[in-house]
Structure 1
Amino acid sequence: MTDDTQLMQLVAACHWIGSKGWAPATGGNMSLRQDDQHCLLSESGKDKGTLSAEDFIQVQIATNHVPSGRKPSAETGLHTLIYRLYPEAGAILHTHSVNATVLSRVVKHAAIVLQGYEMQKTLRGQHSHLDAVTIPLFDNHQDMDALAQRIAFFASKTPINWGFLLRGHGLTCWGRDVSEARRHLEGLEFLFQCELQRRQREAL
């Protein structure tokens, strides 16, 4: 069972994300695993930079059912999928930064491979800049059920370690708790900015 400390850390992370401009115009969504059966997910249509604890809605992980009847994020099915696929996932952050969005359209392959950056070590399990970090890249889709099925099929063959990108949409990443999810988000955003600038310079 999650405690109030984790929820307040998630609220603080949302405010930090808002200050970075990574969830503009009420975009993005964030969640926290509450227990084995439930998560707390940000309410739809709210500015992520001004969220409070009351703006998080309980959702059943197995069914996406919302006991309160309130409206959670449109990407609810992606959050619950991640919690089902990865029992160690404790918090999920989905953002719409410019760097992640543009890079996801620049890269035409099914994944972005990052290598040679010291900041790769911000990701759990990474110990050297020499290792390759692979971030899966999926085409965006307005049908969340279809998108979740596609991601689930990929994950059944290739585990997703930290997160994935949706093309022209943004980044979804997670961690064992809010602190780790926030570290992964910041590390990946730094890496995306470096990679985007590197590719732009090489194209000149």
Structure 2
Amino acid sequence: MNSDAAKSALIDAGKWISNKGWVPATGGNFSIKTDDGFVVTASGHDKGCLTHQHFLELSENGEIRSGDGKPSAETALHLKLYQLVPNTGCVLHTHSVAATVLSRFETNNILQINGYEMQKSLSGIASHHTPVDIAIFDNDQDIERLAAKVAEYHQQHPISHAVLIRGHGLYALGKDVSETRRHIEGLEFLFACELERIKLESMK
């Protein structure tokens, strides 16, 4: 995919994600792998109102080739996820209420979801009996250190669909922007179901 097509795809994704309420207050950041590097959103822009001027073009090593503004510090985590999961073509980072709350409620380092038909929206999951494990990492303003923790985890437990950053949000992965959008939508449904289940159980 060339850079212009990647920007157009992320503009469209940004409108959709913003309408869902998953990137409030200029939060989140998006990227797509291109023919010669990456396109990533510049920091500080409303993701529902992106234009082609709100992106940076990066080399495969993360060096800025063109674009105004500055990349989010979290761009380093995007690049690490591309490195760790080579078939990834798109990373979308969002800040939904459900993802953020569950990442704090779950005290273990894994959020396991099981028993929902919607699990099959995730690539490689063919049954509601196949558990979905989403790794949770403690938030860290040192993104390089956070990326190193993600890499260490990946060596033992390969990351496939997403990771959660505690009290922060979701990083969803996919082979392209369409698959990543499907993963986000499926996961957000599952997160909402889990929150409702927890609330109902607490009322028993």
1:44 match: secondary structure: coil
Change (3 A) 1:59 1:203: same
Asked if the contact 1:61/1:84 (under 8 Å) is kept, the reply is no
Asked if the contact 1:112/1:134 (under 8 Å) is kept, the reply is yes
Report the equivalent of 1:16: 16
Report the equivalent of 1:58: 57
Asked if the contact 1:91/1:177 (under 8 Å) is kept, the reply is yes
Provide the C-alpha distance between the structure 2 equivalents of 1:156 and 1:133, rounded to a whole number of angstroms: 18
Report the equivalent of 2:28: 28
Q: State the TM-score, normalized to the length of structure 1.
A: 0.94
What's the CA shift for 1:193? 0.4
What's the CA shift for 1:41? 0.4
Q: Could you list the runs of 5+ residues in structure 1 that have no partner in the other structure?
A: none
Provide the C-alpha distance between the structure 2 equivalents of 1:180 and 1:167, rounded to a whole number of angstroms: 24
Q: Could you list the runs of 5+ residues in structure 2 that have no partner in the other structure?
A: none
Q: How does 1:97-112 map to 2 (within 5 A)?
A: 97-112=96-111
Provide the C-alpha distance between the structure 1 equivalents of 2:173 and 2:52, rounded to a whole number of angstroms: 19
The one-letter amino acid paired with 1:18 is S
Q: Which whole-Å deviations, capped at 9, do the CAs of 1:74-128 have from their partners, x for residues lacking one?
A: 2010011011112210111000000000010000001100000000010000111
What's the CA shift for 1:3? 6.1
What's the CA shift for 1:24? 0.4
Detail structure 1 runs of 4+ shifted over 3 Å in the superposition: 1-7
What's the CA shift for 1:53? 2.4
The one-letter amino acid paired with 1:151 is V
Q: Percent identity?
A: 48
Provide the C-alpha distance between the structure 2 equivalents of 1:145 and 1:53, rounded to a whole number of angstroms: 28
Report the equivalent of 2:182: 183
What's the CA shift for 1:196? 1.0
Provide the C-alpha distance between the structure 1 equivalents of 2:94 and 2:147, rounded to a whole number of angstroms: 17
The one-letter amino acid paired with 2:162 is G
Provide the C-alpha distance between the structure 2 equivalents of 1:186 and 1:94, rounded to a whole number of angstroms: 13
